[in-house]
């Protein structure tokens, strides 16, 4: 790898663990321009008018119905936002596309159809295709004339994606590759005209190919009977001497793994953004029902435990949304430099590689936020929620796949600390130096969070210490296990959960501080931030204790637990009162966006 150019501290992937970020440098939803909001409004109108009124037709995959709506989405520009204008797209940045992704996922299955197309279906071509390939296919994909799909998974290779068995053999005349194998769980398979398919050339070199549906030897299996996302298509893609022209090889022979994993990074980000959109829709439905449903002579929204659920949902959504927009803008800013990872041919934009860790954080956190919101919404609906008469049941079924899509959450939890260690080994991230520095600092008493002048300042001080704690626990674990730390998956997952909580909490805090410094912001934003941080303290302590207890014992462990208590010194807020206040505001305004705007 060639030497990468220095970046500002806040634009280095993972660097949030090592430095403090000026709130003014963080992009938030409140920074969206009217032009950026217009695309989301267009998507919202499309969903309200064309998609949501046709749930039955979509959920039962009425012949031709989804492709018709998909084409209309393309005509509105909703499928070509990230495609450059040179190829008939809109060339919009990621921060702009988030709002559209949030709208499309209001119906989980239709969101998967559009998301798989715009994300992992189109982006391999967009970032790794030749000029001829882009000119041939991108205009059709941007317009919705063609749908795309991504085919990596096989029956025996899920999380172990490189264990794939599909083979590609060059024909005797050197004009075609013959592909043989079967791909599993392929979203959009029934409707896609173009597949990005991964196969091993000569049974060894993982390579990507652009495969048209009409190529000889390409077929699909029957529709899978899924738990949820029923309005999306999921089938096997069967390759029997599938004849693929050599000019449809994507990238280089043997570079397919690099393409696959970098595209999955982007897919993880888009999945997380979509999950937050679905969560916003779900909390709106749950709030409305809680206000309408009467028990014991009053709305159930007036009861404390229902209020706690609504407030927990809103708090998690706020933190997730804050992290999504922060990450989107960071990717946009580094991509704007035009710097590439020169080891790839064609070179890959550094901005899409730099934030692989943050993309995994977004994927894990937001998919689990949606799952929690969906589950609590069903609980608020009670017995009605368990019937198909109300949307809560469908939301639970639709949400569950997100923890499996784009690499399971378990795989992503292992990836987050693993990536930091790999970058440290390559001299790209000063992890060891940071751990050493923090360990020395802990000999002195750190600043106490409770000494801060106000609650937001206390939260800020706490997060400074929480980062030190994550680094300290990482150092203890690495000292114990060394290069074999990756085998201790439970410990690695605990480290990952600490890093995830820190990133989400800091994103929420920076968003609130930025609004306050600009003379704006709302009491609701501060309450949402404080509620998330207040809850995160307990989670951070639990994960730190679990990791340390797995690595140390006796006096050493007791000393380490003392450090945990010092670093997480925090006077608990009255979470009951705080969350009642959040829930009351939510019930007054009826939706998450309106809640955040409450002064």
Q: Hey, what are 64's tokens?
A: 């031709």
Closest of 85, 123, 79, 74 to residue 101, by C-alpha? 79
Q: Measured on CA atoms in the order 73, 78, 80, 84, is the torsion positive or negative?
A: positive
- Can you name the residues that pair with 234 across neighbouring β-strands? 187
**What's the CA gap between 211 and 95, in Å, rounded?**
31
449 backbone φψ class: left, alpha, beta (φ>0; ψ -120 to 50) = alpha
Largest CA distance in the chain: 81
**What's the CA gap between 39 and 318, in Å, rounded?**
21
Distances (CA, A) of 276 to 105, 108, 268, 270, 279: 9, 12, 13, 10, 5
Closest of 213, 212, 211, 82 to residue 142, by C-alpha? 82
Q: Hey, what are 303's tokens?
A: 């009861």
Half-sphere exposure of 475 (CA within 13 A, CB side): 19
- Strand-pair category, 194-201 with 167-170: parallel
Half-sphere exposure of 212 (CA within 13 A, CB side): 15
- Strand-pair category, 148-151 with 194-201: parallel
3-state secondary structure of 572: coil
List, in sequence order, the alpha helices (H) in 76-210. Answer: 94-104, 108-116, 123-128, 131-143
* CA angle (147 as vertex; 96, 69 as ends), nearest 5: 75
**What's the CA gap between 486 and 496, in Å, rounded?**
12
Kindly give, in sequence order, each residue whose CB lies less than 8 Å from that of residue 89, ignoring residues fewer than 6 positions away: 80, 81, 82, 83, 138, 142
Catalytic one of 354, 368, 406, 506: 406
Pair 492, 485: CB distance under 8 Å? yes
Q: How many other C-beta atoms are found inside a 10 Å radius of the C-beta of residue 216?
A: 11
DSSP 159-174: SSGGG---EEEE-TTS
Closest of 539, 523, 530 to residue 508, by C-alpha? 530
Please say if 406 is a catalytic residue: yes
- Strand-pair category, 176-187 with 167-170: antiparallel
3-state secondary structure of 211: strand
**What's the CA gap between 572 and 581, in Å, rounded?**
17
Give me the residue label for tokens 């704006």: 520
Known catalytic residues?
Answer: 406
């Amino acid at each position: 790898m060639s030497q990468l150019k220095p970046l500002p501290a806040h634009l280095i992937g993972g660097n949030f663990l090592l430095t403090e970020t000026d709130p003014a440098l963080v992009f938030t939803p409140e920074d969206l321009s009217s032009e950026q909001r217009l695309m989301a409004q267009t998507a919202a109108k499309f969903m309200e008018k064309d998609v949501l009124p046709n749930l039955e037709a979509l959920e039962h995959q009425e012949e031709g119905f989804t492709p018709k709506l998909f084409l209309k989405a393309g005509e509105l520009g909703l499928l070509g936002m990230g495609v450059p204008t040179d190829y008939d797209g809109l060339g919009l940045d990621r921060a702009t596309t988030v709002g559209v992704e949030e709208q499309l996922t209001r119906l989980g299955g239709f969101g998967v159809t559009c998301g798989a197309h715009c994300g992992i279906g189109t982006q391999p071509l967009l970032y790794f295709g030749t000029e001829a390939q882009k000119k041939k296919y991108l205009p059709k994909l941007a317009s919705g004339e063609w749908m795309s799909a991504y085919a990596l998974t096989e029956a025996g290779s899920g999380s172990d994606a490189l264990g794939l068995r599909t083979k590609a053999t060059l024909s005797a005349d050197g004009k075609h590759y013959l592909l043989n194998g079967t791909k599993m769980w392929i979203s959009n398979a029934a409707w896609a005209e173009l597949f990005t398919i991964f196969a091993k050339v000569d049974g060894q070199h993982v390579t990507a190919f652009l495969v048209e549906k009409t190529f000889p030897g390409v077929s699909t299996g029957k529709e899978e009977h899924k738990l949820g996302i029923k309005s999306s298509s999921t089938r096997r893609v069967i390759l029997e001497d599938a004849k693929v022209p050599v000019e449809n090889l994507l990238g280089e022979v043997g570079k397919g793994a690099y393409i696959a994993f970098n595209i999955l990074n982007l897919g993880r980000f888009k999945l997380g953004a979509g999950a937050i959109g679905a969560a916003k829709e779900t909390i709106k439905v749950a709030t409305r029902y809680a206000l309408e449903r009467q028990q014991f002579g009053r709305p159930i929204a007036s009861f404390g435990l229902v209020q706690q659920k609504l407030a927990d949902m809103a708090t998690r959504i706020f933190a997730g949304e804050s992290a999504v927009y922060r990450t989107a803008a960071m990717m946009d800013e580094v991509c704007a430099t035009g710097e590439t990872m020169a080891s790839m041919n064609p070179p890959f934009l550094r901005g899409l590689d730099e934030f692989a860790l943050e993309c995994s954080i977004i994927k894990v956190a937001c998919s689990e936020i949606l799952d929690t919101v969906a589950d609590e919404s069903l609980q608020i609906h009670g017995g009605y929620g368990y019937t198909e008469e109300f949307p809560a049941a469908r939301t639970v079924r639709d949400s569950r796949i997100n923890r499996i899509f784009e690499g399971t959450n378990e795989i992503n939890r292992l990836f987050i600390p693993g990536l930091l260690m790999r970058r440290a080994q390559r001299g790209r991230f000063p992890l060891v130096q940071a751990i050493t520095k923090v360990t020395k600092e802990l000999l002195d008493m750190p600043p106490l969070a409770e000494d801060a002048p106000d609650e937001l300042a206390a939260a800020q001080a706490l997060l400074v210490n929480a980062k030190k704690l994550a680094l300290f626990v990482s150092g203890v674990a690495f000292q114990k296990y060394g290069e074999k730390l990756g085998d201790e998956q439970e410990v690695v997952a605990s480290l990952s959960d600490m890093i995830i909580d820190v990133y989400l909490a800091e994103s929420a805090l920076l968003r609130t501080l930025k609004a306050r410094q600009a003379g704006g912001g709302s009491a609701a934003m501060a309450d949402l931030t404080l509620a998330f941080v207040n809850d995160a303290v307990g989670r951070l302590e639990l994960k730190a204790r679990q990791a340390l207890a797995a690595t140390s014992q006796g006096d050493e462990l007791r000393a380490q637990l003392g450090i945990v208590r010092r670093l997480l010194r925090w006077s608990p807020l009255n979470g009951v009162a705080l969350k009642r206040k959040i829930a009351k505001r939510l019930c007054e305004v009826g939706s998450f966006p309106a809640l955040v705007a409450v002064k």
